[in-house]
């Protein structure tokens, strides 16, 4: 049993393939999370300021994406853009490079769109939780609105949002597994290919589960450490 | 929106909605009590039981649902003991049953976490008062601990119920045609991507709204302040 496992993983090189898949998963997760967060921050501020029309639009985007399975969002983006991209790419003669890069682009956008919807809620909640007295103090010091936001509201909100960001990140890294359905070669897809070729799905999917578990466990410890660092000076919680 | 495509797509999606509802309903009805039991196990004094429940929760919360459903449907089918046991094979071999099993196991882990914190947050004085009245441990649980913990846990559980509805979409990856499975087929068949997406999203949102409203009504009924 153990010898078989050794041959499968090392001599046939599946261990390397699975590790490469994990690297792709982490890269897509980080990129998607980062993009989502960057887009979510201004949207959350608009939502927080209750800007008419925009605020409602942001709200409905977040409700729809959060109420619909991630798989469906991925199908929408994949099928919805495959035609357009193909015609554009063929017109410019980049057919091959687009065929290779396409799942990555759609994958990152889909993950970003999903994590963005959740991030909006997290950031908005954190912005609302910033104590009003501090903002009044800033106003009485005659600080301009921009400075108040960048020096007081945002840093304080970031600390409050960390727990929520941790949740969104855990969900995002798990959601990257869904991208495998459109053929992106990340961890889940690699495991599925290995399972098909070697006819031993049990081992491959268990290894994939273990790798995912490792990722979530490591990021959990990192986030707890960051939380402790950010809460220094705010008293024991 | 093209009306022909809409009238063509809706019957398929409604058939899919039935399967989604079936999976979600079983997930909630079986996963809720299962999660409570596991949550109690995590707070028990028996160290072995506590460790088993803790690691179950950590594993199912730390890995994607897609991996879990694949291990159950494709992975376990490889084990010859399971293949030759009629009851286990019935549970694993059929796509729908495997999907329901995966959803129950997944939601059980999250529900257990919700109820563990709910049981931890119970005021000690009330439990001591119940014990001082001479209630047996079972009575303390059914009359004091559980009703209080349920009120604590309901708001968090209602979002978990909405998640169950969404997670049921993963059944489409193991050949069970529910809403998302039909939506994918219709999208690649008719190319009316946006139309299909809007109908499908509306169906999911309707289900979530019904589930959330029902739980909110229950919450209001159970709350002390009316």
C-alpha to C-alpha distance for A4 and B13, rounded to whole angstroms: 45
Summarize the confidence of residues A221-228 as an average pLDDT: 91
Quote the pLDDT of residue B226: 54
Reply yes or no on whether the pLDDT at A142 is more than 80.
Answer: yes
CA atoms within 13 A on the CB side of A156: 16
The pLDDT-based confidence of B19 (bands split at 50, 70, 90) is very high
C-alpha to C-alpha distance for B226 and B223, rounded to whole angstroms: 7
C-alpha to C-alpha distance for A111 and A109, rounded to whole angstroms: 6
Residue pair B17/B183 in contact by the 8 Å Cβ criterion = no
Reply yes or no on whether the pLDDT at B65 is more than 90.
Answer: yes
The mean-pLDDT minimum among A115-119, A219-223, B188-192 falls in B188-192
Q: Number of residue pairs across A and B with CB atoms under 8 Å?
A: 110
Summarize the confidence of residues B87-99 as an average pLDDT: 87
Give the architecture (CATH level 2) of A2-230.
Orthogonal Bundle (1.10)
Summarize the confidence of residues B122-126 as an average pLDDT: 90
pLDDT digits (tens, 9 = 90+) for B179-214: 999 998 898 888 888 888 999 999 999 999 988 898
Reply yes or no on whether the pLDDT at A110 is more than 80.
Answer: yes
Domains in chain B: ranges and CATH? 3-222 (1.10.3720.10)
CB contact under 8 A, B71 and A69: no
A180 interfaces chain B, CB cutoff of 8 Å: yes
Quote the pLDDT of residue B155: 87
- Chain A residue nearest residue B195, CA to CA: A76
CA atoms within 13 A on the CB side of A170: 23
Helix (H, G, I), strand (E, B) or coil at B224: coil
ipTM: 0.87
Quote the pLDDT of residue A37: 94
Summarize the confidence of residues A157-185 as an average pLDDT: 90
Summarize the confidence of residues B130-147 as an average pLDDT: 91
Percent of chain A predicted with pLDDT > 90: 51
Quote the pLDDT of residue A235: 63
Among B156, B160, B174, which Cα is nearest to B101's? B174
The pLDDT-based confidence of B1 (bands split at 50, 70, 90) is low
Percent of chain B predicted with pLDDT > 70: 99
- All residues of chain A having their beta carbon less than 8 Å from the beta carbon of residue B208 are 67
Residues 48-107 of B with CB under 8 A from A: 58-59, 61-68, 70-71, 74-79
The pLDDT-based confidence of A50 (bands split at 50, 70, 90) is confident
The distance of B84 to chain A (nearest Cα, Å) reads 17
Among B21, B190, B188, B166, which Cα is nearest to A75's? B188
Structural element, H or E, at residue A172:
helix A154-175
Reply yes or no on whether the pLDDT at A131 is more than 70.
Answer: yes
The distance of B36 to chain A (nearest Cα, Å) reads 22
Report CA Rg, chain B.
21
Q: Rounded to 5, what percent of chain A is helix, strand, coil?
A: 85, 0, 15
Residue pair A106/A182 in contact by the 8 Å Cβ criterion = yes
Helix (H, G, I), strand (E, B) or coil at A93: coil
Helix (H, G, I), strand (E, B) or coil at A51: coil
- All residues of chain A having their beta carbon less than 8 Å from the beta carbon of residue B63 are 174, 209, 212-213, 216
Summarize the confidence of residues A177-191 as an average pLDDT: 89
Structural domain spans, chain A: 2-230
Mean pLDDT computed over every residue of chain A? 88
Mean pLDDT computed over every residue of chain B? 90
The pLDDT-based confidence of A24 (bands split at 50, 70, 90) is very high
Sign, Cα dihedral of A169, A174, A177, A182 = negative
Summarize the confidence of residues A149-158 as an average pLDDT: 89
C-alpha to C-alpha distance for A121 and A108, rounded to whole angstroms: 20
pLDDT digits (tens, 9 = 90+) for A55-109: 999 999 999 999 999 999 999 988 888 777 777 777 777 767 667 778 888 889 9
Reply yes or no on whether the pLDDT at B20 is more than 90.
Answer: yes
């Amino acid at each position: 049993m153990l010898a078989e496992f050794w041959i499968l993983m090392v001599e046939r090189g599946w261990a390397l393939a699975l590790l490469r898949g994990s690297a792709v998963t982490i890269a897509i997760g980080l990129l998607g999370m980062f993009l989502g967060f960057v887009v979510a921050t201004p949207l959350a501020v608009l939502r927080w300021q209750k800007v008419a029309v925009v605020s409602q639009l942001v709200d409905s985007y977040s409700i729809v994406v959060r109420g619909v399975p991630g798989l469906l969002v991925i199908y929408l983006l994949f099928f919805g853009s495959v035609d357009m991209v193909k015609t554009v790419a063929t017109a410019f003669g980049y057919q091959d490079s687009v065929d290779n890069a396409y799942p990555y682009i759609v994958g990152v956008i889909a993950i970003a769109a999903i994590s963005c919807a959740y991030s909006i809620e997290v950031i908005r909640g954190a912005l609302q939780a910033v104590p009003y007295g501090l903002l009044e103090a800033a106003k009485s010091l005659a600080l301009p609105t921009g400075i108040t936001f960048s020096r007081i509201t945002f840093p304080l909100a970031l600390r409050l949002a960390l727990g929520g960001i941790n949740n969104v990140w855990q969900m995002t890294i798990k959601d990257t597994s869904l991208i495998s359905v459109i053929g992106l070669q990340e961890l889940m897809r690699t495991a599925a290919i290995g399972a098909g070729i070697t006819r031993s799905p049990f081992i491959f999917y268990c290894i994939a589960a273990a790798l995912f578990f490792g990722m979530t466990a490591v990021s959990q410890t990192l986030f707890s450490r960051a939380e402790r660092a950010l809460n220094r000076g705010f008293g024991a919680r | 929106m093209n009306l022909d495509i809409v009238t063509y797509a809706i019957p398929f999606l409604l058939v899919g909605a039935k399967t989604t509802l079936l999976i979600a309903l079983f997930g909630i009805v079986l996963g809720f009590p299962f999660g409570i039991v596991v949550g109690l196990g995590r707070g028990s004094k028996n160290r072995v039981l506590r460790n088993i429940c803790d690691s179950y929760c950590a594993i199912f919360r730390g890995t994607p649902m897609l991996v879990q459903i694949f291990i159950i449907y494709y992975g376990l089918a490889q084990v010859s003991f399971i293949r030759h046991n009629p009851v286990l094979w019935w549970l694993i071999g059929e796509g729908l049953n495997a999907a329901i099993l995966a959803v129950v196991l997944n939601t059980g882990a999250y529900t257990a976490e919700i109820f563990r914190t709910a049981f931890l947050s119970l005021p000690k004085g009330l439990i001591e008062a119940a014990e001082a009245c001479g209630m047996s441990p079972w009575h303390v649980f059914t009359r004091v601990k559980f009703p209080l913990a349920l009120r604590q846990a309901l708001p968090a559980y209602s979002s978990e119920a909405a998640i169950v509805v969404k997670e049921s979409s993963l059944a489409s990856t193991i050949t069970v045609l529910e809403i998302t499975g039909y939506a994918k087929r219709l999208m690649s068949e008719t190319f009316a991507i946006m139309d299909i997406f809007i109908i499908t999203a509306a169906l999911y949102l309707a289900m979530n709204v019904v589930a959330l409203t029902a739980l909110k009504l229950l919450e209001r009924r159970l709350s002390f302040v009316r």
